[in-house]
Amino acid sequence: MVWDVLDGVLAGAPDGLDVLDIGGGTGGSAVRIARRGHRVTVVDPSPDALAALGRRAGEVGVRVEARQGDLTDLGQVVAADSADLVLCHGVLEVVEEPGAALRVLREVLRPGGRLSLLVAQHHAAVLARAMAGHFAEARDLLTGTTAAPHRTARGRTGRRFTVEEVRGLVTDAGFEPVATTAIRVFADLVPGSLLDLEPGASAALVELERAVADRAEYLPLAAQVHLLAR
Ligand SMILES: C[S@@+](CC[C@H](N)C(=O)[O-])C[C@H]1O[C@@H](n2cnc3c(N)ncnc32)[C@H](O)[C@@H]1O
């Protein structure tokens, strides 16, 4: 469903876009976008991830620029006003100050550019823990502060956001949200055995996910929320 949204942005640029994938890791998104003729730069602190990105890009014969760096000091590796599209997928959860990080991304984006932001959603984590039988952990998450990293009885950490929180952060950083999409409302709750046994079940699940992706009432159930902002 993220790609349903991003494809619209990418398709509207026949001359290609300058795309920055911050925390782009091993390049799954970057290589997919580069294959469509866009100029992609990945910035990531992990040298191992960047090496894997280089191999992945080489295998399919595309060029992706890889720079080692961190979202918090992005200005040292990427020029201001240099990107038409910034991807920040699965990264806001791990930075110290999400609001400050988004303001840094605002500086990098050209006027009229787009931010593609994908974050873990708080309420779904509570539901998933309960469905897995980890009731005390679900309770810990329920009462924890959503915008701060969570530490549970099993020692897991990672920040999650409610839809209101992420929209507030994005708006405070100077962006205007243009689309909010629910990602993986059901997929993480369905036992894999059901998908394996029932012919066509996986495709039907994808269609179901697509049918609820832009329905606001399903956003609090989504494992992740995707925001497109300008
Ligand atoms: C969950 S992975 C997401 C990878 C990719 N964006 C994706 O959606 O598949 C998080 C990535 O963020 C990177 N990362 C961690 N801390 C970061 C920071 N402070 N600034 C930028 N990237 C960071 C990690 O190295 C890792 O590649």
pLDDT in tens, 103-150: 999 999 999 999 999 999 999 999 999 999 999 999 988 876 555 565
**CA-CA distance, 80 to 141, in Å (whole number)?**
38
Nearest atom of ligand 1 to the alpha carbon of 71: 20
The pLDDT of residue 8 is above 70: yes
Listed in sequence order, the residues at least 6 apart from 178 whose beta carbon sits closer than 8 Å to its beta carbon are 114, 228, 229, 230
> pLDDT for 198-225, tens place per residue?
889 999 999 999 999 999 999 999 999 9
pLDDT of residue 193: 86
Residue 154: pLDDT band (50, 70, 90) is very low
The pLDDT of residue 195 is above 70: yes
CB atoms under 10 Å from CB of 13, counted, come to 15
Classify burial at 76, counting beta carbons within 10 Å of its beta carbon; exposed 0-12, middle 13-18, buried 19 or more: exposed
Nearest atom of ligand 1 to the alpha carbon of 94: 16
State how beta strands 64-68 and 39-44 pair.
parallel
The pLDDT of residue 101 is above 70: yes
Nearest atom of ligand 1 to the alpha carbon of 23: 22
Task: Report pTM.
Answer: 0.94
Tell me if 226 CB under 6 Å of ligand 1. Answer: no
Q: Which residues of 20-55 are buried (b: 16+ CB within 10 A; e: fewer)?
A: bbbbbbbbebbbbbbeeebbbbbbbeeeebbebbee
Report percent pLDDT > 70 for the chain: 94
Tell me if 27 CB under 6 Å of ligand 1. Answer: no
pLDDT of residue 146: 56
In degrees and rounded to multiples of 5, residue 140 shows phi and psi of -60, -45
pLDDT of residue 45: 97
Tell me if 30 CB under 6 Å of ligand 1. Answer: no
pLDDT of residue 150: 54
Q: Summarize the confidence of residues 1-13 as an average pLDDT.
A: 92
d(CA 25, ligand 1 centre) in Å: 6
Cα-only R_g, the chain: 18
Across the chain, mean pLDDT equals: 92
**Which protein residue has the closest C-alpha to ligand 1 atom 25?**
46
Q: What sign does the dihedral 133-139-142-147 (CA atoms) show?
A: negative
**Which protein residue has the closest C-alpha to ligand 1 atom 24?**
23
d(CA 44, ligand 1 centre) in Å: 6
Ranges of beta strands (E only) in 50-166 are 64-68, 83-89, 109-120
